[in-house]
Amino acid sequence: MDVGIVSYGGYIPRWRIKPQDIAKTWGVDGDAISRGLNIVSKSVPSPDEDVITISVEATRNLLKKVQIDPKDIGAIYVGSESHPYAVKPTATVVAEAIEASPDLTAADYEFACKAGTAAIQTCMGLVASDMVKYGIAVGSDTSQGAPGDPLEYSASAGGAAFLLGKEKVVAKINETLSYTTDTPDFWRREGQTYPKHGGRFTGEPAYFKHVLTCAKNLFQRTGTGPEDYQYAVFHQPNGKFPVSAGKKLGFSIDQIKTGLLVPRIGNTYSGAVLLGLAAILDIADPDERVFVVGYGSGAGSDAFDITVRDEIENTRTDKCPTIEEMVESNNFVDYATYAKFRGKILM
Amino acid sequence: MRDVAIIGVGDTKFGELWDRSFRDIGIEAGLEALEDAGITGQQIDALFIGNMSAGKFIEQEHVAALVADYSGLSPRHIPAYRIEAAGACGAAALACAHMSVSSGTYNIVVVGGAEKMTDVGDTEAAEILSATADQEWESVFGATFASLYAMMARRHMHEYGTTREQMAAVAVKNHKNGSLNPSAQYQREINKDLVLGAPPVAEPLGLFDCAPLSDGGAAVVLCPLDVAKKFTDTPIKIAGYGQASDTLALHDRRDITTMDATVLAAKRALHNAKLATKDVDLAEVHDNFTITEIIAIEDLGFFEKGKGGPASEEGRTALNAEISINTSGGLKARGQPVGATGLAQVVEVFRQLQGDCGDRQVDGAEIGLTHSLGGTGASSVVHIFRRAD
Amino acid sequence: MGIPRFWRETPSRYNLIGTKCGNCGTIHFPPRVVCPSCHRKSIGKMERIHLSNEGTVVSYSIVHDAPHSFKMQKPYAIAMIELEGCCRLTAPIIDCDPSDVKIGMKVEATFRKLGEQEKDDVIHYGYKFRPARSER
């Protein structure tokens, strides 16, 4: 299978809030929470941003790095758990906004935090089978935790888009596989504003079981081990889980740190592992190898073995900011502003 | 083409007229005008109504027929027209009525203007006013009506060094004039510090840089000049008029510190009247915002481009100074019931030329000018009036 | 706001599509059917083109009295922007402190929500502008 990443782009809203500011509102120890989650700030979208605008921005950044005719894009899939519409696709707006429509297929995906990696796999299949020349997979979210819920300290906003194809590949996807079970660790029922979760049940039987099993299966399938990769990135619901999973698999902190964005921007859900991968591709050298494992509650993991090619240099442009430039932001809001921006105030 | 004169005028007090409906105010001004002209409804050939947005403000369209009906004219079945040109609709209604008499189509016509703006909330009223700008390409993107004028102000400041103090001088002067006008919404003086310290609306414009939301009506009666003396000793001749349009959106203008439509309308009106700007004794200009008066007095030729600010601050536009601008108090202090605004200007000029303005009388007023704007200057109407006794 | 009324403008609102007069070359935004300079000679020759997504602030205001759709963002900067090599349009300047906006500032187009009638209605999207990378 000679399919790979042809281009990629990310987008992170500029606003940030500190866990301490959230904790103060709810009368808990913010420093302890910040330490416990390994999160110093999380991104907050403006009132005029949503999954559609974030997906468009990420996709447009992707197109700034590559010369292709948008009409050659045959598929667009947007993965998110916070699509602005329950019914009416995000993907059609993205298609129109990059002038890829109308001769293409498009749909929205939902699989908690791994809808974006699922979209990549779908595009890989379409490209490999020559059903489309290029496919775009987006993972993007403006996730919400219920006020005062532990999730409120991490649920944030951001997204990344990947262009998959056989031509002009800048990072080849050597292998991908998934691991899926029915594990109800986190959910949001139809019509509900905020999700619920199983507390500590989200850890061992959910995140760790799926991420670690999927990772080991990929090692086995590819005959590789942690020493074969310069970078590893895992789904990052907080700053602790991915580090712990990485260590258990034998990765060093040096291999993990580039893709670990959650301490500064929080958990961007469907965008999280993809933004981490994008941050790695921003700096990786040709021939370096990247190990990627996403996770979505409910539950499943998608893993990827990726090798960076010489063509990666072609994506380096100052037409759009790097992921690191977007991660860095000093535009902090207080809890009241955050609550206003996120529609948490009854009006 | 016949010369046309105004033989009577009427107006309501402008302001928040909570107990009065659109029907009430439209009719009050008209009846007063009839009485002033000494005619009865039986003599009216046609009715012209200036109204901007009754459909949005009171959810009532077809207001020309409504006014005719409630004026008691339904048994006579006279033709009744509504003219819409945003803020210039009253003046545009006068222009159309003038043409109808001048052409010989009608002899005696009443031109009325009315708006009832306070039946909706402030935010909704502001959104209705914004619809006079380009709704699809300005308002949809968050440009409010005030913000578009604020952009003109900012650019005028940038190019000519105009200051907020100079703009404030316009508001102070117009409130002073308004304090002398019993029809004015605000009959009290204000000082510069109040204007400069007011809450911002659309920077650099603050609350006191903006004309208020108002209810009110105004009306005038026209007839051929050659029979005007039958009705009044001092008919006021419509000596000239000019109307011009421009791009709907401000961003499509050649220059946002000047209004080409005003320059052209004034040129046409003066040419028509065979007069020059220097002949004008007083002018009622469209001051929906303070910057608008500064731009208007430049575009009308009273002051050089860029000198309108200093002229205002130096008092050269005050009552009986170099040129008396907005002796009624202008839109700022007299009030701005949109449909009535352009005709209220005519009412003021009529009374000034007849010498009826008491404490705010311009000495020896012979020739007056009115200038009315629609939107951000996409419509501009200039009329010139002259005593014909 | 009516759905079709907004929907039919999406090409220009999403992607800054204007027209270039086939007779004199003047560019207009939004698209026009007739060139104000060439009149009849331009009819049928108004070619649809992509405008630059970069521009310069010609003038601006900071809006405090905001319409319903923009209440959550006030105060916000609204600007008249001259797009590189073509024409002008009006749009908010976002992603900066409104007081940082200046005449002459370089800006670039971005994609944002413009509004919605009610929370359960269709959402309208289109361009807003932010400071260009060189200004940040």
Does the structure show a pLDDT above 70 at B60? yes
Chain C interface includes B376 (CB < 8 A) = no
Residues A100 and A53 in one domain: yes
From the candidates A83, A197, A210, A235, which is the catalytic residue? A235
Domain membership of residue B103 (yes or no) is yes
Residues A199 and A273 in one domain: yes
* Residue bearing tokens 């504003």: A193
Residues A208 and A286 in one domain: yes
Q: What is the pLDDT of residue A75?
A: 98
Nearest C-alpha in B relative to C13: B137
What CA–CA distances, in Å, run from C3 to A90, B59, C8, C117?
17, 22, 9, 10
Domain membership of residue C11 (yes or no) is no
Q: Which of B174, B195, B228 is the last residue of a domain?
A: B228
Name the domain count of chain C: 2
* Pairwise CB contact (< 8 Å): B123 & C60: no
Q: What is the pLDDT of residue A37?
A: 97
Q: Which two tokens stand for residue A60?
A: 């447009």
Domain range holding C102? 54-135
Separation between Cα atoms, residue C91 and residue A179, nearest integer Å: 47
The nearest CA of chain A is from the CA of C10 a distance in Å of 8
Residues C127 and C60 in one domain: yes
Is A81 catalytic? The answer is yes
Contact yes or no for A255/A245 (Cβ under 8 A)? no
The nearest CA of chain A is from the CA of C134 a distance in Å of 10
List the chains bordering chain C where 3 or more Cβ pairs fall under 8 Å.
A, B
Q: Which residues pair with B245 in a beta bridge?
A: B379
Give pLDDT tens digits for A82-132. 999 999 999 999 999 999 999 999 999 999 999 999 999 999 999 999 999
Chain B interface includes C129 (CB < 8 A) = no
Separation between Cα atoms, residue A139 and residue B198, nearest integer Å: 47
Domain membership of residue B315 (yes or no) is yes
Residues B60 and B153 in one domain: no
Domain membership of residue A84 (yes or no) is yes
Low-confidence ranges of chain C (pLDDT < 50): none
Domain membership of residue C76 (yes or no) is yes
Domain membership of residue A273 (yes or no) is yes
Burial class for B195, CB neighbours closer than 10 Å (0-12, 13-18, 19+): buried
Nearest C-alpha in C relative to B150: C61
Q: What is the pLDDT of residue B313?
A: 98
Separation between Cα atoms, residue C117 and residue A96, nearest integer Å: 22
The nearest CA of chain B is from the CA of C80 a distance in Å of 6
Does the structure show a pLDDT above 80 at A1? no
Q: What is the pLDDT of residue B236?
A: 98
Q: What is the pLDDT of residue B385?
A: 98
Chain C interface includes B254 (CB < 8 A) = no
Angle formed at CA A153 by CA A148 and CA A155, multiple of 5 degrees: 105
CATH at residue A94: 3.40.47.10
Q: Which two tokens stand for residue C71?
A: 């209440």
Residues B176 and B253 in one domain: yes
Taken in order B105, B106, B110, B116, the sign of the CA dihedral is negative
Residues B95 and B142 in one domain: no
Residues A212 and A337 in one domain: no
| DSSP 8-state symbol, B131 | T
The SS3 of residue A304 is: strand
Contact yes or no for C125/C112 (Cβ under 8 A)? yes
Q: What is the pLDDT of residue C1?
A: 53
CA–chain centroid gap for A329, Å, is 19
Q: In the predicted model, what is the mean pLDDT of residues B198-215?
A: 98
Residues A60 and A29 in one domain: yes
Q: In the predicted model, what is the mean pLDDT of residues B124-129?
A: 94
Domain range holding B276? 133-210+239-387
Give pLDDT tens digits for B4-50. 999 999 999 999 999 999 999 999 999 999 999 999 999 999 999 99
The nearest CA of chain C is from the CA of B352 a distance in Å of 36
Residues B58 and B205 in one domain: no
Separation between Cα atoms, residue C121 and residue A103, nearest integer Å: 27
**Whether the bond into C75 is cis, omega within 30 of 0:** yes
Domain range holding A180? 173-311
Instruction: Please give the helix or strand (H or E) that residue B34 lies within, else none.
Output: helix B22-37
Domain membership of residue C10 (yes or no) is no
Residues A326 and A293 in one domain: no
Contact yes or no for A275/A248 (Cβ under 8 A)? no
Does the structure show a pLDDT above 90 at B233? yes
Chain B interface includes C22 (CB < 8 A) = no
Domain membership of residue C8 (yes or no) is no
Is A197 catalytic? The answer is no
Task: Look up the ipTM and state it.
Answer: 0.97
* Pairwise CB contact (< 8 Å): A97 & C14: yes
Residues C52/C70/A152/A39 CA torsion (nearest 10 deg): 40
Residues C44 and C60 in one domain: no
Residues C65 and C111 in one domain: yes
Nearest C-alpha in C relative to A98: C15
Name the domain count of chain A: 2
Q: Which of B201, B228, B255 is the last residue of a domain?
A: B228
Domain membership of residue A346 (yes or no) is no
Residues C79 and C129 in one domain: yes
Residues A223 and A269 in one domain: yes
Q: What is the pLDDT of residue A346?
A: 86
3-state secondary structure string, B221-273? EEEEHHHHCCCCCCCEEEEEEEEEECCCCHHHCCCCCCCHHHHHHHHHHHHHH
CATH at residue B111: 3.40.47.10
Give pLDDT tens digits for A25-81. 999 999 999 999 999 999 999 999 999 999 999 999 999 999 999 999 999 999 999
Residues B258 and B221 in one domain: no
* Pairwise CB contact (< 8 Å): C123 & A52: yes
Separation between Cα atoms, residue B55 and residue C30, nearest integer Å: 27
Is A214 catalytic? The answer is no
Residues A122 and A212 in one domain: no
Q: Which of B173, B195, B228 is the last residue of a domain?
A: B228
Domain membership of residue B101 (yes or no) is yes
From the candidates A49, A57, A81, A311, which is the catalytic residue? A81
- Residues from chain B contacting residue C30 (CB–CB below 8 Å): 136-137
- A residues 72-91 closer than 8 Å to C (CB): 84-85, 88
Residues A116 and A195 in one domain: no
Give pLDDT tens digits for B62-117. 999 999 999 999 999 999 999 999 999 999 999 999 999 999 999 999 999 999 99
- For C25, residues 6+ apart whose C-beta sits below 8 A from its C-beta are none
Q: Which two tokens stand for residue A253?
A: 């902190």
